[in-house]
Amino acid sequence: MAVTIKSNREIELMRESCRLLANIFEELGNSVKPGISTLSIDRLGEKLIRSCGCVPNFLHYEGYPASICVSVNDEVVHGIPRANRILHEGDIVSLDAGLIYKGYHSDMARTFGVGKISDDARKLIEETRNSFFEGVSKAKQGNHLYDISNTIDDYISQFGYGIVEDLTGHGIGTSLHEDPQIPNFRQKRRGLKLQAGMTLAIEPMINMGRADVEWLEDDWTVVTEDGSLSAHYENTVLITDGEPEILTLL
Ligand code: MF3
Ligand code: CO
């Protein structure tokens, strides 16, 4: 599939889809507390998405059974919410969610600390977020796609963290996943030339230990092979001829 360039009308719809999602995330983040189950977070997320007249895009996507991905500690992404999975003080939890507004998809993720967390965990979360902002600074017309990838890799390398290679960011629009794939690690080629009107979900997934991941028996949950903590930070971004517009930031 070719990379799509959004019209002004489509950009307006993407903006609104992302604004609604960012608002929902505020509330979802506030629900993260010791004692809450990962299923309660999913229930709240689905309710908030539907209450603004939107549809959760993750629900039933390739058979995914929930609206929100809730990934705890060594779970990298795609953790399936469960009633018996209770968050405890000191855990870190990545929430990943998206919605469809008038046919247009948004997608974002954040990692939260549950109560008081270790300094090492706090640093992992912060540097994962920082790596997104380093990468997105290259997301403008005329640059190449892998300028983003290489910049994220260069930034993360200094900490000795593992960058997940088995999953990538992606184009987004009338589908949750459009071309191109956006790796978070160094590429040999430059990749396609970025053009105003592209909308991209940029999403570094960073492990405190090694980069290797594996899939659990549920066929969804991705975990670090070495059991180390993992963090995720994702926004939907509009490429312009100037600074990128980060659509899922309020
Ligand atoms: N945010 C995730 C991604 O980028 C989507 C989750 S997969 C799903 O691609 F099945 F849960 F939808
Ligand atoms: Co995504």
Reported as a single tens digit per residue, the pLDDT across 153-201 is 999 999 999 999 999 999 999 999 999 999 999 999 999 999 999 999 9
Nearest CA to ligand 1 atom 8: 58
- pLDDT, tens digit (0-9, with 9 covering 90-100), for 52-110: 999 999 999 999 999 999 999 999 999 999 999 999 999 999 999 999 999 999 999 99
Q: Please say whether the beta carbons of 152 and 184 come within 8 A.
A: yes
* Domains defined along the chain, listed by start: 8-246 (3.90.230.10)
pLDDT over 70 percentage in the chain: 100
Q: Determine if ligand 1 sits within 6 Å of the CB of residue 64.
A: yes
C-alpha of residue 98 to centroid of ligand 1, in Å: 8
pLDDT at 1: 72
Burial string for 1-18 (b: 16+ CB within 10 Å, else e) reads eebbebeeebbebbbbbb
pLDDT at 198: 98
pTM of the model: 0.98
Please determine, for residue 2, whether its predicted confidence score (pLDDT) is greater than 90.
no
Give the position, in ligand 1's atom list, of the atom nearest the Cα of 108.
1
Q: Determine if ligand 1 sits within 6 Å of the CB of residue 69.
A: yes
Nearest CA to ligand 1 atom 5: 58
pLDDT at 24: 98
